[in-house]
Structure 1
Amino acid sequence: MGTPKTVGPGKTGIVLVSDHASNLVPEGLDLGVPPGTMDMHIAVDIGVEGVAERMARRHAIPAHLACVSRLVIDLHREEDHPNLIPMESDGVLVPGNIGADRAERLAKFYHPYHDAMADWLDEADPRLIVSLHSFTPQLETQPDENRPWEVALLYNQNAEPARHAIRLFAAQGLTVGDNQPYSGRELNATMNRHAEAKGRDYLAIEVRNDLIATEAGQARWAALIADVAQRTVLALDAK
């Protein structure tokens, strides 16, 4: 239960990972959240699984996808992060996480996910990792703050791939966030661990979730992200 899944071909130059692709709550665990919560952005990165699967099957970019909700454990946080097991998210209380056994959830979900990703990336030896997330246009707790970006690139120390991708997305007429609405200098746990620490190039991409909520949107963005990733590799290799 909660074991990550991989889709797409084997060894290739570009791969994709997604920490928040699922809204699964394992059997026997009751989070105690209101009805409908598990379909919200606080439980899953809306649209990301569909984009990732299309990139794998139509664009030969294999994907490593989480299969447990971020409300069970946030796989895109450091092990000691205070919100690793969130007790509240965007104004929604998560009663089932109050007093949760942190060590048990790390052992059941976090460590298997990241250990599997490490092995998978070692085997794939990719030229570029795409870390795919989506963000909500407006937080419930910040109703007066709209997020105008259609896509965003996050980065920490290794900014060069992101700079190429920002330029390439902007050339498509898109409004592109540069370390917005989140900063990769603060929220970059998975890529810090599996990319920057290993000297691997990556693109941490956030797509506004209303743009990928439908199959048509997912197909469009799968093609767009695949193209930008491929052209980023060309730009990196041309230097």
Structure 2
Amino acid sequence: MSEAFTQIDGGDLNLLIIADHASAHVPEDIDLGIDPALLKDHIAVDIGVAGVSRLLAGQLGCTAILGGVSRLVIDLNREDDAPGLLPVMSDGHAIPGNRHADLADRMMRFHHPYHHHIERVLEGMGNAFILSVHSFTPRLASDPQQHRPWDIGILYNQDDRAACIAIPLLEQAGLIVGDQQPYSGKLLNATMNRHAEANGIPYLGIEMRQDLVADEAGQRRFADILGPVVLECRNSLA
């Protein structure tokens, strides 16, 4: 057991699901100084991601690694030296408890163990394929005029091999698909840059719209749509 991650062992398929922001957990000894209600908000957790990841791990027979703490404790999808590792503001909300927090301690406690564990799992997995699972809010409080109409977004940096396979398949399944939406993977792709692109491992990065995966029925729907698409990407590239 680790407070930095949760591992789901769904089977031995050479496919690893990674969900950086799957948890809203804040350890008891960390005080973020915020209204606890915000831990149910998108600033704290990628809503729906844990449920979809668990369903996919069981459906596909593979391993999933879920981040163990809220992105407000430490953002696991940031490089070691990136701004925003320890957020003091998020979508208009102040996180006062982080202003004087020890970044080095949070890195040693959560960030490093999480990424080192991913490395170990991938080392033991031949011809691996990675599915990176995130979700996005339909609207930002800090930018209410921004239009986010997509059901799902596909993100990548330099390696677009799986994206090129997945986008038409997801459209055929009836989803409105954003290519590099609601933001570009060329700007924010830290975990996949580190574990996939740097090692030549093919991957698919997805962003699901949170209101569509907020309940069990929505999570099941997305898992059922995503499963065959992910397998097609994996079978073609791994």
* DSSP-derived class of the 2:206 partner: strand
CA distance in 2, matches of 1:6, 1:133: 17
TM-score (norm 2): 0.96
Q: CA deviation at 1:144?
A: 1.4
CA contact under 8 A between 1:135 and 1:206: conserved in structure 2? yes
Partner deviation per Cα, 1:131-174 (whole Å, 9 max, x = no partner)? 00000000011111120010011000101111111111111121
- Larger deviation, residues 82-91 vs 223-232: 223-232
1:225 counterpart residue number:
226
2:175 counterpart residue number:
174
Moved over 6 A (4+): none
- AA partner of residue 141 (structure 1): S
Partner deviation per Cα, 1:20-61 (whole Å, 9 max, x = no partner)? 000000111110112310000010000000111111123313
CA distance in 2, matches of 1:138, 1:125: 40
Q: CA deviation at 1:4?
A: 1.0
2:29 counterpart residue number:
28
Superposition pairs for residues 76-87 of structure 1, below 5 Å?
76-87=77-88
* DSSP-derived class of the 1:174 partner: coil
1:45 counterpart residue number:
46
TM-score (norm 1): 0.95
* DSSP-derived class of the 2:124 partner: helix
Q: CA deviation at 1:10?
A: 4.1
2:160 counterpart residue number:
159
In the alignment, is residue 68 of structure 1 matched against residue 87 of structure 2? no
1:110 counterpart residue number:
111
CA distance in 2, matches of 1:21, 1:155: 19
Unmatched 5+ residue regions in structure 1? none
Unmatched 5+ residue regions in structure 2? none
1:201 counterpart residue number:
202
2:95 counterpart residue number:
94
1:18 counterpart residue number:
19
Aligned residue pairs total: 237
Percentage of pairs with the same residue: 48
CA distance in 2, matches of 1:101, 1:210: 34
CA distance in 2, matches of 1:235, 1:175: 23
CA distance in 2, matches of 1:2, 1:52: 18
